[in-house]
Amino acid sequence: MTVATENIGEDGFAEVVTLGENDPLRLTSGEILSPIKVAYKCWGKLNEDKSNAILICHALTGDQYARGQNPITGKEGWWPKLIGPGLAADTNKYFVICPNVLGSCSGTSGPKENNPETGEPYGLDFPVITIADMVGAQVKLIDHLGIDVLFSVIGGSMGGMQVLHWAVNHKERLNTAIPIASTWRHSAQNIAFHEVGRQAIMADPSWHGGRYFETDERPHAGLSVARMAAHITYMSEGSLTAKFGRNLQDREKLTFGFDADFQIESYLRYQGISFVDRFDANSYLYITRAMDYYDISADFDGSLTKAFEGTSVKYCIMSFTSDWLYTTAESREIVRALNAVGANVSFVEIDMDKGHDSFLLDCSEMFKIVSGFLAAEAQESGIRLP
């Protein structure tokens, strides 16, 4: 454990560990994965009693590169204003860990990685996984790092689903939970949008039944359409109108053709095209499936209240006014269930017009709330600085 005891500072340290060789990961489906690879990045320094660790859970198309340059895309990480020295997840105080989720395509085991049994990519031979399985892999990583109890688990969107799974199913292993712009179960509409994306991928002949890695083709067209459809759900109608309206793209009048006359068309096409370079189509199928399968109440007779019974985790829940994918109403359902069991819960609905993706944007109110919540809890529980 050289990583965790050294001060790796604000630049962080990224590696891929092989876990579960003697202790297989038992999946929700009943299948077994062993060994698994978990790619993660971490920042800061673990303190002596290993009580200052924060786990960051990423969303559908995220990865471990939450802060610092992403070596694959060359772009900045996806939560640079939340994680860092003096920021909410303060790397001067906390040891921050961000793993790539199971099923994804940035180094952790998933359909793109080699099946140890065959030596070739899993493709659709990778077992269908759940949010619980993603968390299962994270538990193995935390065990590997020698951490018993996480100071906090933080995530937005699908990251928030993992946070809730941690808090409900591993409640003795975390002090605080911060699910942002998230939900407790995927709704019919959520599933519907994902199904459109999956059908677009699977309809692409270049998908080759998931075995495109055996060819020199990739289902870029289908994956691009999937991303475009999803991207609309990440933005609010108001933000699309404010940003694009009916503005034309580099032209003064309509062209009466099927090119991208409107800026919104050009923008969406770019979102689709740029996505396929960084994401694996099969991973998109697996992760959307995991999200659709997600219902935190399912193991508790469908009762959200039962799911939270006996919790000692402190919750800080946030939603955004303009988020129509995972609405404030859904966050309120979580809050009500937590209140019903007398849990310690803070809830803030942030007034921001950028839709679901607000949690990934420069939202100073969100950063302040996370910062204040963590600082208060660190003081109360007497977390020692590293």
Residues binding a second copy (CB under 8 A):
28-29, 31, 124, 127-128, 185-189, 191-193, 195-196, 198-200, 202-205, 221-222, 224-225, 228-229, 232, 235, 237, 240-241, 243-246, 254, 256-258, 260-262, 264-265, 268-269, 272, 285, 289, 292-293, 295, 324
- 82/206 Cα distance (integer angstroms): 39
* Residue 324: CB minimum distance to a second copy, A: 8
Amino acid, res. 295? D
Of 93 and 218, nearer to a second copy (C-beta) is 218
* Residue 267: CB minimum distance to a second copy, A: 9
Question: Cβ neighbours of residue 47 under 8 Å, at least 6 residues apart?
Answer: 95, 383, 384, 385, 386
In the set 63, 323, 357, 358, the catalytic residue is 323
Question: In the numeric block, which tokens belong to residue 88?
Answer: 């909410």
* Residue 242: CB minimum distance to a second copy, A: 9
Of 93 and 185, nearer to a second copy (C-beta) is 185
242 burial via Cβ count (<10 Å: 0-12, 13-18, 19+): exposed
Q: Give the helix, strand, coil percentages of the chain, each rounded to 5.
A: 40, 20, 40
Catalytic residue list contains 323: yes
Catalytic residue list contains 356: yes
* Residue 321: CB minimum distance to a second copy, A: 15
* Residue 195: CB minimum distance to a second copy, A: 5
- 15/185 Cα distance (integer angstroms): 32
Of 84 and 210, nearer to a second copy (C-beta) is 210
In the set 58, 186, 194, 356, the catalytic residue is 356
Alpha carbon 201 to chain centroid, angstroms: 21
Residue reference for tokens 């969107």: 157
Question: Cβ neighbours of residue 358 under 8 Å, at least 6 residues apart?
Answer: 181, 320, 322, 323, 350, 352, 366
For residue 248, the number of C-alpha atoms closer than 13 Å in the C-beta half-sphere is 9
Of 303 and 312, nearer to a second copy (C-beta) is 303
Of 195 and 380, nearer to a second copy (C-beta) is 195
For 196-213, the DSSP string reads HHHHHHHHSGGGGGGTGG
Residues classed as catalytic: 157, 323, 356
